[in-house]
């Protein structure tokens, strides 16, 4: 007997039951149950399913198939069909310009959430170590949403074994990092639990020596222990002769089957762990009536399930993959190929596009006996079907298999490019580039300019990457080889040249974008036109071109709407947002952000969600809501990593460094992180570190670094997007360290942009008005001009709704007025201090408090000793007559002293003098 409740796993089952209760209450989670083959992962999942059903929750089970031939998303399709029947969102994904993988994933989440919202839902995904990578990407997407649903997501996977696909390990690692995800590792059964298993399995009470030996041999592995016990029970195997490995045990048990049954199981092994009984019958040459009779002994022995009854519609299935593995190992190479060929013939007779992956697998495995050309054709069709379903990793896998086929040689370049496109869409950028290089090598050998051009434009938007310069070089080469033969490809190449140009290397602003736009407009091709708009916009980053960039953004929006391509529209809005931030147009910023938000909510592409979330973080930080800004930046980081963005960590560092300077929080930690980053970047990027060092109070380190940068400041290209940010930073450093000549030069460069904001783009922090920096620099030599700049900066900061920068403008104005008008300086500084304290801007608050104390001292210094005495007596509440008596003066003289104090301090009443004196530092 082997039935009954789950043995052992009391602690694990209790923990899972608690998670189930939490999910039912609306706090879902993800649990990954891991362990060796046969350790009881699936049995634990079945036990939890029983508990869930008893508690009134709905349940759904999806299984990943060991071996090849499964369609993408198979376990998820099983789950959704169990919940909603056939025709799920994965069976029939959206198509068209607006469709995307992440919109598809969102629809899956919505379907699961809708089901879970009634009474709770348990979803089990079994054998995730055999899943296709696209299914794991979907798992990660669902796991990210689970904490806000009434869903418990349980996955089982075999650990301590290398995954069948290298990307699978990385994808599973991403799942483990999702919030509210728990990993449960199963170990072996205890000796008492093995004894209980023996009592349940054997037909007579177990002997202690047998239990002890089974425990030692199996190390508590339930499957191994059970197979050993079954072996003993079936044939009275001598205790000392028990096999030492689970595969050997399974082999012994298979030896006891009738030869026709064992032959049939060997034939079934080529179909995978699970198969259609009808297909198995065709492969084995057995009709549907004969098949159950031959399978019956295996079913009775607990080695196989399903297929033993012709009325049974369930798939035929090995009870454990190790049974299938043992049988598959018994086949010779020739026999295995023949069986694969017969399986392909059987599948050919079965309708259904979902069979194409299995058909492609069997055709490939039948070679060289099978049809090589057909194997290639069907594999390519399987890849294309996976691509249409946004299963880019599975499509890439099929293209890889296609490339390995003998018939692939004439099609190799095209297959490599398709592989590269799928890999790029899946986020495997470096692997995609390697495929592009391989395709480019073939194109060079054939003198194929079109092929070389296609290889050069597969990777889109790859900037600030080690690959950028290599893509750029390939574009140059392709442009020469292509000549003027293909206007569309030429336009795309010119656009790619502009986008990948290194502003620190080209020497002067090139005109590739202009040429690309001219060529693309002539072709009318939407893709070429958009790439050319993008390229031209890249060339026009210099501040004097901001209005033209606005126009390009509007053109991209129109093009996207005409072509029905949301991404073009999104880019258009993003470019306009960049320009409006630079111009300081707050009303327009809010309008564009609202439009982009609506569009991104519809698109649900993770990189656009990342960009939009960063834009919102920037807006919050500009308004002084730093805690919310940091939350959004952290959220964006998680989205960017999950979506395969090439540098979300860099942008997060840029943002956190900005907030750290404003608030003082984590300033040392962030400063060191910036130092590590710039150490491997362009030399001039170290000015970022110098700014951070100064903000962290490490003045000497900042000064030393600044001195090393000064000789090279002129090398920073004005057409680089970061020019305005870097140059204002350099100007501030020059003022701080007294480099007046350098400061004057930088002042002249910045003056044409006095009415702008310090902003590289809308998803990186705004540094406030340029006029603020101009005022700081001018204050060293030209007080009146500095005052004009600071007044303009304050008006700009207030118009942009930025209390942090308004406070900074007031602080610098107070500093400027310190010597000439200390009373007015004190008012500005007091306002700056109030704002800084309210917003949590500790560095600004500290500086404002220090300056305010100095301003009060300066005011005191303006009064004579006698006037200070009079002010003190006014603060005591004495009248002029009482002051005169106390100081032995005439009443008229006392009145004159009071009048002088009012004039010097700019006050209009005695009460103001009293308040001023009371608030003076001791």
Q: What is the CATH number of the domain that holds 868?
A: 1.10.10.10
- Say yes or no: 46 and 147 in one domain: yes
Q: What is the largest CA-CA distance in the chain?
A: 132
Is the pLDDT at 868 greater than 70? The verdict is: yes
- Say yes or no: 43 and 136 in one domain: yes
Query: Tens digits of per-residue pLDDT, 147-191?
Result: 989 999 999 998 766 666 777 888 888 888 888 999 999 999 999
- Say yes or no: 47 and 127 in one domain: yes
Domain boundary among 144, 161, 187: 187
Close Cβ partners of 675 (under 8 Å, ≥ 6 residues apart) = 689, 692, 693
- Say yes or no: 90 and 212 in one domain: no
- Say yes or no: 157 and 204 in one domain: no
* Per-position b or e across 602-617, b if 16+ CB within 10 A of its CB: ebbbbbbbbbbbbbbb
The answer to whether the beta carbons of residues 702 and 710 sit under 8 Å apart is: no
Residue 93 lies in a domain: yes
pLDDT recorded at residue 901 = 85
Residue 178 lies in a domain: yes
Domain boundary among 290, 307, 331: 331
Cα–chain-centroid distance for residue 517? 32
Mean pLDDT for all residues in the chain: 90
Is the pLDDT at 567 greater than 70? The verdict is: yes
Residue 370 lies in a domain: no
Angle at 541 between CA 540 and CA 543, to 5 degrees: 100
Is the pLDDT at 2 greater than 60? The verdict is: no
pLDDT recorded at residue 310 = 58
The answer to whether the beta carbons of residues 135 and 104 sit under 8 Å apart is: no
Q: Is the dihedral of CA 771, 775, 781, 783 positive or negative?
A: positive
- Say yes or no: 153 and 213 in one domain: no
Query: What percentage of the chain has pLDDT greater than the value 90?
Result: 61
Q: Cα separations (Å) of 264 from 282, 285, 317?
A: 11, 10, 13
Query: Tens digits of per-residue pLDDT, 325-380?
Result: 899 999 999 999 999 999 999 998 876 677 899 999 999 999 999 999 999 999 99
Q: Per-residue confidence at 765, pLDDT binned at 50, 70, 90? A: very high
The answer to whether the beta carbons of residues 610 and 648 sit under 8 Å apart is: yes
3-state secondary structure of 712: helix
Q: Which residues pair with 769 in a beta bridge?
A: 757
Query: What percentage of the chain has pLDDT greater than the value 70?
Result: 94
- Say yes or no: 257 and 213 in one domain: no
The answer to whether the beta carbons of residues 38 and 246 sit under 8 Å apart is: yes
pLDDT recorded at residue 505 = 66
pLDDT recorded at residue 344 = 94
pLDDT recorded at residue 760 = 93
Query: Tens digits of per-residue pLDDT, 499-554?
Result: 888 776 655 556 888 888 888 899 889 999 999 999 899 888 889 999 999 999 99
Residue 101 lies in a domain: yes
Is the pLDDT at 811 greater than 50? The verdict is: yes
DSSP state of 779: T
Higher pLDDT, residue 60 or 225: 60
Is the pLDDT at 713 greater than 90? The verdict is: yes
Q: Cα separations (Å) of 296 from 34, 214, 301, 328, 630?
A: 32, 28, 9, 20, 63
Higher pLDDT, residue 772 or 642: 772
Residue 70 lies in a domain: yes
Give the Cα separation of 497 and 508 in Å (integer).
14
- Say yes or no: 121 and 25 in one domain: yes
Closest CA relative to residue 596, chosen from 261, 582, 349, 580: 580
Residue 520 lies in a domain: no
Is the pLDDT at 805 greater than 60? The verdict is: yes
Give the Cα separation of 147 and 127 in Å (integer).
23
Query: Tens digits of per-residue pLDDT, 44-98?
Result: 999 999 999 999 999 999 999 877 788 899 999 999 999 987 777 888 777 666 6
pLDDT recorded at residue 921 = 56
Give the Cα separation of 221 and 546 in Å (integer).
68
The answer to whether the beta carbons of residues 238 and 210 sit under 8 Å apart is: no
Q: Per-residue confidence at 242, pLDDT binned at 50, 70, 90? A: low
Domain boundary among 283, 307, 331: 331
- Say yes or no: 201 and 155 in one domain: no
Is the pLDDT at 266 greater than 70? The verdict is: yes
Is the pLDDT at 847 greater than 70? The verdict is: yes
181 backbone dihedrals φ, ψ, rounded to 5°: -110, 130
Please measure the distance between the N-terminal and C-terminal CA atoms of the chain and give it in whole angstroms.
Answer: 92
pLDDT recorded at residue 1 = 38
pLDDT recorded at residue 308 = 60
Q: Per-residue confidence at 309, pLDDT binned at 50, 70, 90? A: low
Give the Cα separation of 673 and 563 in Å (integer).
44
The answer to whether the beta carbons of residues 175 and 181 sit under 8 Å apart is: yes
175, two tokens: 């799942």
- Say yes or no: 18 and 38 in one domain: yes
Q: List Cβ<8 Å contacts ≥24 apart for 650-657.
A: 650/464, 650/677, 651/614, 651/763, 651/764, 653/677, 654/764, 654/765, 655/614, 655/617, 655/618, 655/621, 655/629, 655/764, 655/765, 656/630, 657/688, 657/692
Tally of structural domains, the chain: 5
Q: Is the dihedral of CA 94, 95, 101, 102 positive or negative?
A: negative
Residue 139: CB atoms within 10 A of its CB come to 26
Residue 296 lies in a domain: yes
- Say yes or no: 178 and 97 in one domain: yes
- Say yes or no: 59 and 115 in one domain: yes
Q: What is the CATH number of the domain that holds 156?
A: 3.40.50.300
pLDDT recorded at residue 410 = 95
Residue 170 lies in a domain: yes
Is the pLDDT at 235 greater than 80? The verdict is: no
- Domain limits for position 227: 193-244
Is the pLDDT at 448 greater than 50? The verdict is: yes
Least confident of 438-442, 639-643, 730-734: 639-643
């Amino acid at each position: 007997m082997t039935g009954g409740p789950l043995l052992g796993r009391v602690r694990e089952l209790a923990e899972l039951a608690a998670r189930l209760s939490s999910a039912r209450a609306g706090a879902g989670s993800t649990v990954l149950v891991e362990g060796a083959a046969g350790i009881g992962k699936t049995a634990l999942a079945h036990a939890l399913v029983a508990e869930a059903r008893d508690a009134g929750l709905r349940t759904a089970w999806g299984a990943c198939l060991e071996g090849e031939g499964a369609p993408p998303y198979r376990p998820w399709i099983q789950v959704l069909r169990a919940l909603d029947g056939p025709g799920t969102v994965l069976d029939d994904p959206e198509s068209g310009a607006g469709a995307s993988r992440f919109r598809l994933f969102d629809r899956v989440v919505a379907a699961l959430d809708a089901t879970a919202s009634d009474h709770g839902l348990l979803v089990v995904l079994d054998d995730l170590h055999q899943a296709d990578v696209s299914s794991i990407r979907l798992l990660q997407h669902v796991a990210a949403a689970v904490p806000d649903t009434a869903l418990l997501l349980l996955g089982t996977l075999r650990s301590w074994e290398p995954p069948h696909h290298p990307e699978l390990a990385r994808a599973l690692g991403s799942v483990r990092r999702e919030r509210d995800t728990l990993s449960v590792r199963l170990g072996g059964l205890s000796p008492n639990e093995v004894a209980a298993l023996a009592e349940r399995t054997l037909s007579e009470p177990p002997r202690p020596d047998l239990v002890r030996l089974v425990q030692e041999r199996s190390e508590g592995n339930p499957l191994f222990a059970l197979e050993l016990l079954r072996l003993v029970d079936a044939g009275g195997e001598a205790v000392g002769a028990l096999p030492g490995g689970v595969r050997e045990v399974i082999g012994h048990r298979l030896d006891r089957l009738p030869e026709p049954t064992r032959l049939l199981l060997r034939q079934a092994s080529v179909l995978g762990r699970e198969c259609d009984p009808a297909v198995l019958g065709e492969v084995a040459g057995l009709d549907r009536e004969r098949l159950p009779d031959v399978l019956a002994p295996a079913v009775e022995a607990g080695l196989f399930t399903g297929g033993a009854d012709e009325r049974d519609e369930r798939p035929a299935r090995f009870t454990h993959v190790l049974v299938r593995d043992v049988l598959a190992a018994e086949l010779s190479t020739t026999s295995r190929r023949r069986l694969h060929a017969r399986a392909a013939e059987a599948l050919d007779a079965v309708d259904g596009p979902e069979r194409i992956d299995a058909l492609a697998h069997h055709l490939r495995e039948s070679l060289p006996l099978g049809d090589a050309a057909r194997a290639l054709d069907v594999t390519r069709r399987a890849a294309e079907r996976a691509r249409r379903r946004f299963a880019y990793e599975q499509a890439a896998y099929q293209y890889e298999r296609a490339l390995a086929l003998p018939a692939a040689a004439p099609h190799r370049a095209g297959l490599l490019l398709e592989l590269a496109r799928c890999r790029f869409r899946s986020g495997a950028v470096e692997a995609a580039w390697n495929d592009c290089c391989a395709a480019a090598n073939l194109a060079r050998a054939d003198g194929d300019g079109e092929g070389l051009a296609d290889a050069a434009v597969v990777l889109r938007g790859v900037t600030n990457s080690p690959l950028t310069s290599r893509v750029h070089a390939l574009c140059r080469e392709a442009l020469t080889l292509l000549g003027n033969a293909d206007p569309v490809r030429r336009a795309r190449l010119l656009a790619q040249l502009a986008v990948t140009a290194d502003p620190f290397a080209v020497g002067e602003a090139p005109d590739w974008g202009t040429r690309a736009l001219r060529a693309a407009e002539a072709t009318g091709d939407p893709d070429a036109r958009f790439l050319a708009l993008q390229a031209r916009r890249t060339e026009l980053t210099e501040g004097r071109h901001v209005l033209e960039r606005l126009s390009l953004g509007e053109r991209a929006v129109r093009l996207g709407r005409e072509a029905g391509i949301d991404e073009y529209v999104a880019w258009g809005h993003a470019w306009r947002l960049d320009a409006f931030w630079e111009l300081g147009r707050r009303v327009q910023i809010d309008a564009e952000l609202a439009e982009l938000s609506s569009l991104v909510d519809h698109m649900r592409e993770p990189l656009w969600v990342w960009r939009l979330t960063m834009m919102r973080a920037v807006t919050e930080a500009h308004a002084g809501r730093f805690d919310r800004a940091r939350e959004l930046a952290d959220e964006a980081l998680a989205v960017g990593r999950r979506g395969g963005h090439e540098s979300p960590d860099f942008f997060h560092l840029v943002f956190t460094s900005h907030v750290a300077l404003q608030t003082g929080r984590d300033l040392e930690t962030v400063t060191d992180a910036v130092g590590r980053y710039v150490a491997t970047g362009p030399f001039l990027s170290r000015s970022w570190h110098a700014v951070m060092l100064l903000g962290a109070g490490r003045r000497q380190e900042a000064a030393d670094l600044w001195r090393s940068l000064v000789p090279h400041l002129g090398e920073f290209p004005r057409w680089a997007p970061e020019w305005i940010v870097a140059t204002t930073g350099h100007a501030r450093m020059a003022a701080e360290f007294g480099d007046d000549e350098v400061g004057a030069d930088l002042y002249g460069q910045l003056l044409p942009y006095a009415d702008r904001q310090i902003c590289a783009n809308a998803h990186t922090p705004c540094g406030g008005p340029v006029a603020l920096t101009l005022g700081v620099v001018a204050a060293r030599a030209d007080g009146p001009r500095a005052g004009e700049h600071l007044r303009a900066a304050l008006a700009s900061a207030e118009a942009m709704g930025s209390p942090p920068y308004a406070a900074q403008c007031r602080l610098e104005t107070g500093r400027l007025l310190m010597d000439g008008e200390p009373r007015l300086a004190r008012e500005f500084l007091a306002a700056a201090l109030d704002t800084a304290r309210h917003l949590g801007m500790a560095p600004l608050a500290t500086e404002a408090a220090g300056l305010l104390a100095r301003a009060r001292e300066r005011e005191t210094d303006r009064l004579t000793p006698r006037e200070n005495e009079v002010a003190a007596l006014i603060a005591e509440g004495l009248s002029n007559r009482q002051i005169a008596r106390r100081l032995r003066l005439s009443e008229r003289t006392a009145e004159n002293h009071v009048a002088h104090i009012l004039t010097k301090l700019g006050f209009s009443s005695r009460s103001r003098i009293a308040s001023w004196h009371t608030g003076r530092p001791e």
